[in-house]
């Protein structure tokens, strides 16, 4: 299989067959992000390479029903290209019913609702969007390249097309003293949409990120671990939609998951217990020893 650099996929895609169709990120500017530092330039895989990998998948996992396209944002590819990838994939994996990938909010913008419907018919569904937050000042400071209104506008297009989506939320992105405010603003945005999963990660600042420079310059200050937990608690508390909340993955010292609204009280009680039983120093120790996400 052709895999370039570190392969990232959401925890819930663990059972999906992975296929590289792009490498790296077309944006590459988010201040906190170091995920694709080992892939300096965005690259689209040639069809010959994709077919070679599909032949390999056919040999080892011919019964795959779900494919997860690898790369930071394969959904940036044109509708025609995504359609071609779906068609070729189905030639090799005949039981394939759905295709997922990471997408940026800006990847949806150039696609019309009728194009998105065509992609849905071909199997594109449950795409994962790293929206990070609905807090405009954090989105702007971190150079995410879109604002909260764009999240709503583009995800509503997915709703119209019947493409389900999951969100990644980045706890800590609003910065010191602003965590709860960021959570409230995010809940306002998420409550107007229909994410199937809200996956939360906790911000871990690495020295090779642009954000680290800002911290050294004194232009941005990190939230404490306790503030991050309070932020996550505030987000859960204010979410009014039916969704699955999941804080899984290494950036979270504590794994939490549950359905909303039914498990809301339990999730909040779990966070309260963590805040009672672990000191800031213990949690900070986990963070600074987290060598890799």
Binding mask 59-78 for ligand SF4 (x = CB under 6 A): -------------x------
- Candidates 30, 39, 108, 246; binder of ligand SF4 (CB under 6 A) is 30
From 173, 255, 187, 263, select the one nearest 220 (Cα to Cα).
Answer: 173
- Candidates 27, 66, 228, 287; binder of ligand SF4 (CB under 6 A) is 27
Q: Can residue 36 be called a binding residue for ligand SF4 (CB under 6 A)? A: yes
Q: Can residue 5 be called a binding residue for ligand SF4 (CB under 6 A)? A: no
Q: Can residue 228 be called a binding residue for ligand SF4 (CB under 6 A)? A: no
Q: Can residue 28 be called a binding residue for ligand SF4 (CB under 6 A)? A: yes
CB 186 within 8 A of CB 235: yes
E strand spans, the chain: 17-20, 22-23, 43-44, 66-70, 98-103, 127-132, 165-171, 197-202, 243-247, 256-260
Reported residue count of the chain is 293
Q: What is the DSSP letter of 43?
A: E
Q: Can residue 169 be called a binding residue for ligand SF4 (CB under 6 A)? A: no
Q: Can residue 25 be called a binding residue for ligand SF4 (CB under 6 A)? A: yes
CA dihedral 115→121→127→133, nearest 10 degrees, is 50
Stretch that binds ligand SF4, among 25-33, 62-70, 133-141, 256-264 (CB under 6 A): 25-33
CA distances to 155, 239, 257 from 273, rounded to whole Å, are 35, 20, 15
Q: Which CB atom, from 27 or from 185, has the smaller least distance to ligand SF4?
A: 27
Q: Please report how close the Cβ of residue 268 comes to ligand SF4 at its closest, in angstroms.
A: 28
- Candidates 17, 35, 148, 200; binder of ligand SF4 (CB under 6 A) is 35
Q: CA-based Rg of the chain, rounded to a whole angstrom?
A: 19
């Amino acid at each position: 299989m052709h895999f370039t650099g570190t392969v990232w996929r959401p925890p819930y895609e663990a059972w999906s067959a992975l296929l590289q169709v792009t490498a790296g990120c077309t944006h590459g500017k988010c201040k906190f992000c170091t995920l694709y530092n080992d892939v300096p330039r965005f690259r689209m895989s040639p069809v010959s390479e994709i077919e070679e990998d599909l032949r390999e998948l056919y040999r080892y996992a011919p019964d795959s029903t779900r494919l997860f396209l690898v790369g930071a944002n394969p959904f940036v590819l044109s509708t025609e290209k995504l359609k071609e990838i779906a068609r070729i994939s189905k030639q090799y994996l005949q039981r394939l019913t759905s295709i997922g990938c990471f997408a940026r909010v800006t990847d949806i913008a150039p696609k019309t609702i009728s194009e998105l419907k065509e992609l849905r018919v071909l199997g594109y569904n449950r795409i994962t969007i790293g929206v990070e937050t609905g807090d405009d000042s954090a989105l702007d400071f971190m150079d995410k390249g879109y604002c909260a209104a764009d999240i709503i506008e583009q995800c509503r297009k997915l709703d119209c097309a019947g493409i389900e989506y999951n969100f990644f939320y980045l706890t800590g992105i609003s910065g010191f003293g602003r965590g709860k405010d960021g959570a409230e603003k995010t809940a306002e945005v998420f409550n107007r949409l229909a994410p199937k999963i809200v996956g939360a990660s906790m911000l871990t600042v690495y020295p090779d990120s642009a954000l680290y420079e800002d911290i050294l310059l004194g232009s941005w200050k990190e939230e404490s671990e306790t503030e991050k937990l309070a932020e996550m608690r505030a987000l859960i508390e204010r979410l009014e939609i039916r969704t699955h909340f999941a804080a899984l993955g290494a950036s979270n010292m504590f794994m939490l998951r549950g359905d909303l609204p039914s498990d809301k009280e339990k999730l909040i009680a779990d966070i309260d217990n963590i805040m009672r039983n672990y000191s800031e120093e213990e949690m900070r120790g986990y963070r600074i020893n987290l060598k890799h996400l």
